[in-house]
Amino acid sequence: MKIYKYPAKEAWSELLKRPALDVEALRGTVSEVLQRVRTEGDRAVLEYEAKFDKVQLDTLAVTPEEMEAAAHLIDAELKAAIELAHANIEKFHIAQRFEGKPVETRPGVTCWQKAVAIEKVGLYIPGGTAPLFSTVLMLATPARIAGCGEIVLCTPPARDGSINPAILYAAQVAGVSRIYKIGGVQAIGAMAYGTESVPKVYKIFGPGNQYVTAAKQQVSLRDVAIDMPAGPSEVEVLADSSANPAFVAADLLSQAEHGVDSQAILITDDEQLIARVGEEVERQLAALPRKEIAARSLENSKLILVKTMDEAMEMTNEYAPEHLIIETRDYMALAARVVNAGSVFLGSLSPESAGDYASGTNHTLPTNGYAKAYSGVSLDSFIRKITFQEITPQGIRCIGPAIEIMAANEQLDAHKNAVTVRLESLLSNFRK
């Protein structure tokens, strides 16, 4: 990990850059796959599964028998952990339910909102070296609470055609409607366009590699909504001299093992902490099964020494981290000053891993600085809000003249007339 001491503010922009994710270079390949899935449906998907996932499939759907078998293939300890995590995620997201209250903006003019679930949503769950069954819980649980009628999940199968049983069990617990053995770009295409087997959805959620990211970006241009822009995962630890170096190092490494393009950053005002954290990183790294991945990720990672905590907070808000861990004496005071972050972890006993799995908050978060403009996945991600208004005779008399004046000044005479005819009708009825 590179060390930067007292960087000038003019250098922050360069210092805080993320690893580049160039999806433009993939555009041609991704477009070809998407187009074939769009026009050829299941046939194209099956061919791409053979080509990319190295598996020969007769059908794409996971059967009820496979779902039942999955429950017997994982041990009781993991089941209990999944169920605990699901209960906490459910509790946190239930608390986000929207209750629209009618508002009388003027006498006789009443407005309100109603929350309506997105009818069909698609979830993409990566497989590979780290099958993310936790992401199933994070996406399917709020989708079910929101009331989504169809929750479709795609995940790449192993070469024997099986799906990781923990993914299947988590899907059962969280309330997924249908599961398909499809990975990569072809999965995004199948959910975006629909095939003979896979229903078309209205919004797609979930992480993935650069090909999946590029595919989500392309289909979002005109075919389907997506959760948010995506990039490699990241964490920032904001710490002072009170921080435990072993804890900080563990947090940095927990992020680094996600992938070679992940980024971990420490910002501190204590020079001694940097040295101690560096030593702990080396010691803990040596014992990690995924140490090669973590080591490559650390090449993108930084230890930054600043003069004051005020400067540290300013740099933090400029970086806008996906995950922010604040391990300082006065972490609550600093937390109040956070304006750009995906999810914040407070105190020495709140590791990023808690939010990744079981505290209850959602781990699907904005990366690549998008925390300046986007929120993480929540119940709102799975609903739409429809506005209603009811206007009585008193109400149209109250606001009608203002509408007429505004419409006339925008030279939209038909808009003006829609009010005028009503006011004249009311006046005529009154005279009668």
- List phi, psi (to 5°) of 214: -65, -40
- Which tokens sit at 341? 């972050």
CA distances from 49 to 160, 240, 264, 333, 424 (A): 12, 49, 34, 51, 66
277: Cβ contacts below 8 Å, ≥ 6 apart: 245, 248, 249, 252, 266, 303
Measured CA to CA, the distance from residue 358 to residue 345 in angstroms comes to 13
Residue holding tokens 């270079």? 25
Q: Considering 323, 327, 352, 363, which one is annotated as catalytic?
A: 323
| Catalytic residue status for 322 | yes
Answer positive or negative: Cα dihedral of 69, 355, 343, 298: negative
Instruction: Answer for the pair 316, 304: CB distance below 8 angstroms, yes or no.
Output: no
The CA distance from 273 to 255, in Å, is: 19
Count of C-beta atoms within a 10 Å radius of residue 389: 12
In sequence order, which residues have a C-beta less than 8 Å from that of residue 408 and are 6 or more positions away? 416
**Structure-token pair, residue 81:** 């952990």
What DSSP designation does 360 have? S
3-state secondary structure (DSSP) of residue 333: helix
Judge contact between 219 and 74, C-beta under 8 A: no
CB 120 within 8 A of CB 177: no
Q: Which two tokens stand for residue 132?
A: 């993310």
Decide: 146 and 118 in contact? Cβ < 8 Å: yes
User: What's the CA gap between 268 and 310, in Å, rounded?
Assistant: 11
Determine which one of 49, 234, 257, 322 is catalytic.
Answer: 322
Nearest-angstrom CA–CA distance, 372 and 369: 6
DSSP for residue 303: E
DSSP per-residue string spanning 226-263:
ES------EEEEEE-TTS-HHHHHHHHHHHHTT-TT-E
Where in the sequence numbering do the catalytic residues fall? 322-323
